[in-house]
Each structure stands twice: as structure tokens, then as C-alpha cells.
Homo-oligomer: A and B are copies of this chain.
Amino acid sequence: MSSADRTYDVVVLGAGPTGENLADVVVRGGLSAVLVEEHLVGGECSYYACMPSKALLRGTEALAAARTVQGAAAAVTGEQDVAATLARRDSFTHDWDDTGQVDWVAGAGIDLVRGTARLDGERAVVVTTPDGGRVRLTARHAVAVCTGSEPAVPPVAGLDGVQPWTPREATGAKEAPRRLLVVGGGYVGCELSFAWHALGSRVTLLQRGGRLLPDAEPQAGDAVLASLRDRGVDVRLDADVTAARREDDEVVLTVGGEEVRGDEVLVATGRQARTTAIGADTVGLEPGRYLDVDDTLRVRGLPWLYGAGDVNGRRLLTHMGKYQARQAGAAIVARARGEEVSGADWSPHTATADRAATPAVVFTDPQVASVGLTSAQAREAGLPHRVVEYPIGSVAGAALLADGYEGTAVAVVDPGREVLLGVTFVGPAVAELLHAATIAVVGEVPISRLWHAVPAYPTVSEVWLRLLETWRG
């Protein structure tokens, strides 16, 4: 048991990708920074979310791609080696060992304190270390909360008692459960239904609403639903889980008066801010709530406190957390230097893309890649818009990529400014099509100029030309 007091320019709570990036930016800007982490350095994404889930899916995707090319299909005569796929997944999570990340932190000139951090009034943080010691950290300029989010288990009778899988257990499982129940048809539920079905589980996906991926363009949820059902996943829409219990080794869910049985149940119905135990009350904030921040990611009313990443609830995506980290870090450095900080959209100090141009990829088959506003979001915001749609399979490059390629591109256009507000691609291997749309939306490149951005023939990207032609009518 030890005790110490230390002062840094910036104290960062949470060493996930957001905290790491924020600390890196401020250190590059000449400030000193310390990261506090109670669990693994590298965060949820590296060990329990993006990386392992995509690793579980990639082998299935690669084989599906080969099977849809006449001539190549003949070579795919065997089955995926599930143990090897799980071993590959483990290699990406480094078997949940964070040595590499710790080395990176040290190399970046960032200090690291392991332990549980609590705010303790203005610019002060108290860390309880694993050995029961106490470290008091004081920030000259800023404290940044990057503690992220955690799964929210819905208030279903008995659900806590069945020890449901969260995404952590579902991405880390050492073998495929015989029967997997998945509660929640958002991107996590859909991706993991695909993954475990392909790796041998009998999967039942229970979605409360009438559509999968309800935040995406409707073409996305419809296509993913059809594909899941086509390969034998039992997808039930409008399926409200009202009770849960264990019977011996079985999980039993009550769904609309019926019972559904499985060996494991994954609950993927949403997340909540990880602010319960950070001493929020010592600075006048309500524990458990998302931090309310301005576009420089500064908590309103507390000029020394920042909240970046999931913890502010703006966009719960790793890459947007990292983006916010870069912007918040730049704002902290500028303010520490007494420089002016611009709060304007697209400035070096503000997060703008997380309102206007957030990219997201759902790694199902078909994939769903989207950026900016959907047609529904444009409608709800009362923005003038026109929707342009094109079947990707009609593009020569898509036909070359896969026999019978099916997909859809949807663009939401501001008809006054003639710029793109949002784009969604649904189809196999569309993930890498997305960044073109992101640059077009973020760059506010007018359609008149996009006509000069010629897609190479014969690539799938030629769908851009078709969208422009469809827009022109």
C-alpha cells in the first residue's frame, strides 16, 4: 500500500482508444499526460468488440466470396476450421494481454497508472491502485474522461439471473454454443448472429421492433434479415422478451407467451455511460449519465473537464471516439497555450463529423456501410432532400466480383446545395466503398464536381457514376 501525489498537465481516465489518442495528442502538443486504467490498456474495442468480432466474421466472408465466383468455387471443397478461426481471433486480442499497448503508451511519453479513478473535485483525481494504494493526480489544465460505455441489460424479469452474455463474452467465447439466443437486432446482435451461425451454433435472433438495424436505411435491415433467414438463422421480429430463467444448463426466454430455449443468451440491446463510479458527484454531475459536452468535447459548465468517446453519448463508435480524442486534444493544447479555440464547424478543435458525417460499417453479409444522414433522419430534421437509389449488382464491377451480386446504394441529396447529406451501401464487400462517401459528405463536394470524379472501370465504385446518372434523371 502506497500513497503519492502527482501533477500533470492532463489527466485521462480510461486507456481505451479514445484515452490513448487524447493523451498522445496532448503529449505531442508539449503537455504532460497520465492515463489511468483499471482493466486492459487498449480498451473494449481491441479486446472485446470490433477486433474480435470482425476476426470471427472474416473467414466466413472470404469463403463466401470465393464460393460466389464460378471456377473458384470448385476449390472451396472443405469447411472452415473453427478452432483455427478462434485462434486467429485470439491472436488479434493478444490473448487479452495488453503488453503491446502498455509499451506503446510508454513509447509515446505518456505515464500510466493502473487502478480505479474517481474525480475528487476540480482538476483532481484519486486512483485506488490494485495493491490498495492511493495516488492523487492533479491536472494543471484538463481532466479528460474517456471511460466509455458498458452494456445495458434491459429490465426483464430474471435476465440478470441467467448470466447472459454481453458482447464481451460473445466475442471471446472459446467455442460455439450449440444453441445461441441473441436479444437485440442492432449491429452487434446481427454481426454476432452471423458469426456464431457460421461457426456452428443454431442461432435465434430476437428483435423487439419490426426491423433489424432500425437506425439504418430500411434496405439494410431488409437485406440482412433475408440473408440471416436464408442461411437458417431463426429471426423473430416484434419479439418482446418478458422473462428469463435457467433450467439446468438451458436458458429459457419468454417471448410473447412462447418459450424459446438455448444454451447461451447474448443480450445486445444497448449501452450506457460508464460514469457511475468516477466520482461525478464530486464535481456536481449526476453519476450514470452521459457527459454533456460542447463541440470541443468540454463538459458544459466545467471548463477543465472533457468527455470524449462513448462516455458523452454522441456516437458510440471506436473511430468516432478517436476522432473526438484528436479534436479534444487539440482544443486542450490550444487552450493551455492561450491560443484561440474555434468552435466553428470543421475547425481543428471541434467534433463536427459526429453530428454530420459519422461513418459506420456493419460486417454482416451483406455488409452495411453508411455515413451521414439517412433519409429518415433528413426527414425528421425537416431538411429538404431527395433520395437516389441504385442496385449495385447492375454495375459491371460487382458482377465481376461475385456471381449474382445483390446490393443497393442509397444517397440522400440536398437538392438546394446539390451536396450529399448521406450515403448507404448494402451488399457484399461494400465496407471499403464507404470512405469515398465520407470524403464527399465531409468535403461538401458539389455534385457538379463529383461528375469529374471518375470511378475506375470495372470496379464496384462505378456505382458512383450510376448514382449521379440516377440523380440527373
Interface residues of A (CB under 8 A from B): 45, 50-51, 54-55, 58-60, 62-63, 65-66, 68-88, 92, 317-320, 322-323, 326, 346, 348, 352-353, 357-361, 369, 396, 399-401, 403, 429, 431-436, 438-440, 442-443, 445, 448-462, 464-465
* A400–B318 CA distance with the chains assembled, in angstroms: 16
Q: If the complex has contacts A435-B459, A442-B449, A453-B353, are A70 and B92 also in contact, measured as CB distance less than 8 A?
A: no
A-B contact pairs, 23 of them (CB 8 A): A58-B401, A59-B69, A59-B72, A65-B66, A69-B88, A70-B81, A76-B76, A317-B457, A319-B455, A322-B457, A346-B452, A353-B452, A353-B453, A359-B456, A369-B456, A435-B453, A435-B455, A435-B456, A439-B440, A439-B445, A440-B443, A443-B449, A443-B450
Q: In the complex, are the beta carbons of B453 and A400 less than 8 A apart?
A: no
Q: In the complex, are the beta carbons of B70 and A87 less than 8 A apart?
A: yes
Residue in B76, B434, B445 whose CB lies within 8 Å of A78? B76
Q: A114 → chain B, closest Cβ, in Å?
A: 24
* A401–B59 CA distance with the chains assembled, in angstroms: 9
Q: In the complex, are the beta carbons of A461 and B445 less than 8 A apart?
A: no
Q: A87 → chain B, closest Cβ, in Å?
A: 7
Q: Report B-chain residues with C-beta under 8 Å of the C-beta of A456.
A: 317, 319, 359-361, 369, 431, 434-435, 438
Q: Report B-chain residues with C-beta under 8 Å of the C-beta of A84.
A: 70-71, 73-74
Q: Which 10 A-B pairs have the closest CB atoms?
A: A71-B85, A59-B72, A74-B81, A443-B445, A319-B457, A435-B461, A71-B84, A435-B436, A75-B78, A59-B71
Q: A454 → chain B, closest Cβ, in Å?
A: 5
Residue of B nearest to A463 (CB): B435
Residue of B nearest to A321 (CB): B457
Q: Counting chain B CB atoms within 10 Å of each CB, which of A74, A80, A92, A454 scores highest? A: A454
Q: Report B-chain residues with C-beta under 8 Å of the C-beta of A80.
A: 71-72, 74-75
Q: Counting chain B CB atoms within 10 Å of each CB, which of A68, A318, A442 scores highest? A: A442
Q: Counting chain B CB atoms within 10 Å of each CB, which of A62, A86, A443 scores highest? A: A62
Q: In the complex, are the beta carbons of A461 and B449 less than 8 A apart?
A: no
Residue of B nearest to A77 (CB): B78
Q: If the complex has contacts A62-B65, A66-B63, A69-B58, are A51 and B458 also in contact, measured as CB distance less than 8 A?
A: yes
Residue of B nearest to A446 (CB): B443
Residue of B nearest to A324 (CB): B454
Q: In the complex, are the beta carbons of B440 and A438 less than 8 A apart?
A: no
Q: Report B-chain residues with C-beta under 8 Å of the C-beta of A461.
A: 431-432, 434-435
Residue of B nearest to A473 (CB): B28
* A445–B456 CA distance with the chains assembled, in angstroms: 20
Residue in B346, B403, B431, B453 whose CB lies within 8 Å of A459? B431
Q: In the complex, are the beta carbons of B464 and A435 less than 8 A apart?
A: yes
Q: If the complex has contacts A74-B78, A92-B399, A454-B353, are A438 and B436 also in contact, measured as CB distance less than 8 A?
A: yes
Q: In the complex, are the beta carbons of A361 and B459 less than 8 A apart?
A: yes
Q: In the complex, are the beta carbons of A79 and B70 less than 8 A apart?
A: no
Q: Counting chain B CB atoms within 10 Å of each CB, which of A71, A73, A326, A361 scores highest? A: A71
Q: In the complex, are the beta carbons of A400 and B54 less than 8 A apart?
A: yes
Q: In the complex, are the beta carbons of B71 and A82 less than 8 A apart?
A: yes
Q: In the complex, are the beta carbons of A45 and B457 less than 8 A apart?
A: yes
Q: Report B-chain residues with C-beta under 8 Å of the C-beta of A320.
A: 454
Q: Counting chain B CB atoms within 10 Å of each CB, which of A45, A81, A438, A440 scores highest? A: A438
Q: A62-B72, A63-B72, A65-B66 are known contacts; what are 18 more A-B pairs with Cβ within 8 Å? A: A51-B458, A54-B400, A58-B401, A70-B81, A70-B85, A71-B84, A72-B85, A76-B76, A76-B78, A319-B455, A319-B462, A322-B465, A357-B453, A435-B436, A438-B456, A439-B440, A439-B450, A442-B445
Q: Report B-chain residues with C-beta under 8 Å of the C-beta of A453.
A: 353, 357, 435, 438-439, 442-443
Q: In the complex, are the beta carbons of B400 and A92 less than 8 A apart?
A: yes
* A403–B91 CA distance with the chains assembled, in angstroms: 11
Q: Report B-chain residues with C-beta under 8 Å of the C-beta of A76.
A: 63, 66, 75-76, 78
Q: Report B-chain residues with C-beta under 8 Å of the C-beta of A346.
A: 448-449, 452
Q: If the complex has contacts A69-B88, A75-B77, are A51 and B319 also in contact, measured as CB distance less than 8 A?
A: no
* A352–B452 CA distance with the chains assembled, in angstroms: 7
Q: In the complex, are the beta carbons of A58 and B400 less than 8 A apart?
A: yes
Q: In the complex, are the beta carbons of A457 and B74 less than 8 A apart?
A: no
Q: In the complex, are the beta carbons of B72 and A60 less than 8 A apart?
A: yes
Q: Report B-chain residues with C-beta under 8 Å of the C-beta of A63.
A: 66, 72, 75-76
